[in-house]
Amino acid sequence: MPTAKQSSRSKKSIIIASAHEPVDPWSEGVDFLRQLDPKWEAIIDEVGPCRLQPRPDRFGTLVRAIIGQQISSKAAASIDRRVREVAGEPHSPAAILQAGEATLRACGLSGVKARYVLNLAQAVHDGAVPLEEVHTWDDEAIIAALTSIKGVGPWTAEMFLIFALGRPDILSVGDLGIRVGLKDFYGLDEMPTPKECRELTEKWRPYRTVAMWYLWEGIDNPKKS
């Protein structure tokens, strides 16, 4: 039979062990959606835990978002791979600037997108947008700073908030996948407008990022019949 001192040590060990268990940063959001609507419960059971993890490469996240504008994810990944082959990995503003427009276009970027990537690289290199500090800013301030760079629109800024910073309540009404996902979720006859997207997702606050991730997963990895 353990002594009182041994029992105390055992309890302390359990507490210490619990403190080192990994914490799921999205569990509250997932539970919130489950309780909100039976549709979410079915989707979450099908997809599994939210696997969204913030990317440490903040500049690279923005570069990839610009590359991925209005093209397939497969094409974007191929172009991004070629850019990294010539400019190094991870993406860096100095290396991108040194590569220049002609090299970026040879990697598959259009002239417009190449200039957008260079605009971004210059702004970060000059310190106009301090990416290592923006995590202390609110969402609106970050979007305002990023969209001041020519070529970085709201969608790109929102992808940064989600995939680089892991902000929990981002809704991208300009994302085609989200509009398709909302159409399917609510059984709509037509794609919702941006205004309708906001109205339809208002009750998903403050975890719209989690909802978006599950909608994307439903499109990228549809349920097999």
Amino acid at 110: S
Q: What is the pLDDT of residues 99-153, one digit of tens each?
A: 999 999 999 999 999 999 999 999 999 999 999 999 999 999 999 999 999 999 9
Percent of residues, the chain, with pLDDT higher than 70 = 88
- Helix and strand totals (H; E) in the chain: 12, 0
- The mean pLDDT value of the chain amounts to 89
Q: What is the pLDDT of residues 213-222, one digit of tens each?
A: 999 998 877 6
Domains of the chain by start residue, with CATH? 26-52+167-225 (1.10.1670.40), 58-163 (1.10.340.30)
Determine whether 24 is an active site residue.
no
List 24, 45, 175, 189, catalytic entry: 175
- The tokens describing 23, both together, are 């914490």
Residues 6+ positions from 45 with CB-CB distance below 8 Å: none
Most distant pair of Cα atoms in the chain: their distance: 77
Nearest to residue 174, comparing CAs of 198, 151, 150, 190? 198
- The tokens describing 113, both together, are 């997108």
